[in-house]
C-alpha cells in the first residue's frame, strides 16, 4: 500500500498549468522496520510545482528497497530512505523517467555527480 501525502501551493507551472510556489511530498511505503535503513539525499533540478514533486516521488518510490521519499521543491533536495544503499544510476533513471535531472548526492568525497 502506498500513501502519498502532498502539501502543495502552486501557481504558473509549465508542466501542469499551475503556478510554482512551495511544495513538499512525503511518500511512505508499507511500514517496515527502520533498523538498518539508509537515508541518502539527492539534488534534482527542473521541478517547478507540486506535480513535479509528486512525479519524482512516485518514480523513486517504485525502486526496490525504497521505504520513503521526501522531496523539497524549494531546494530540490530529495531524501530517500531505503533498506540498503541504492545504485545512483537507478535513482538517476527514475528521476529522468519523471522528466527531471539528478544533479548530485552527498557531499565531499562521497558526492556523486552524473558522468
Domain spans of the chain, in order of start: 2-107
Phi, psi of 94, deg, nearest 5: -65, -45
The highest-level CATH class for domain 2-107 is alpha beta
Q: Do the strands 19-29 and 77-82 form a parallel or antiparallel pair, or are they unpaired? A: unpaired
Express each pLDDT in 7-56 by its tens digit. Answer: 444 444 566 654 443 444 544 443 334 557 889 999 999 999 999 999 99
The region that residue 103 occupies, defined by phi over 0 for left and psi between -120 and 50 for alpha, beta otherwise, is: alpha
What the block records as the C-alpha cell of 35 is: 533498523
More confident residue, 84 or 2: 84
At 107 the pLDDT is 43
Pick from 12, 94, 4: which is nearest to 48 by CA?
12
Express each pLDDT in 64-115 by its tens digit. Answer: 999 999 999 999 999 999 999 999 999 999 999 999 999 987 544 444 455 4
Amino acid at each position: 500500500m502506498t500513501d502519498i501525502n502532498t502539501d502543495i501551493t502552486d501557481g504558473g507551472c509549465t508542466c501542469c498549468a499551475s503556478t510554482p510556489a512551495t511544495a513538499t511530498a512525503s511518500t511512505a511505503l508499507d511500514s517496515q522496520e527502520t533498523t538498518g535503513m539508509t537515508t541518502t539525499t539527492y539534488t534534482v533540478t527542473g521541478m517547478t510545482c507540486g506535480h513535479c514533486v509528486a512525479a519524482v516521488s512516485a518514480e523513486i518510490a517504485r525502486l526496490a528497497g525504497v521505504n520513503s521519499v521526501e522531496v523539497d521543491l524549494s531546494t530540490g533536495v530529495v531524501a530517500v530512505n531505503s533498506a540498503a544503499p541504492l545504485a545512483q544510476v537507478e535513482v538517476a533513471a527514475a528521476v529522468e523517467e519523471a522528466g527531471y535531472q539528478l544533479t548530485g548526492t552527498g557531499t565531499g568525497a562521497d558526492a556523486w555527480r552524473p558522468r
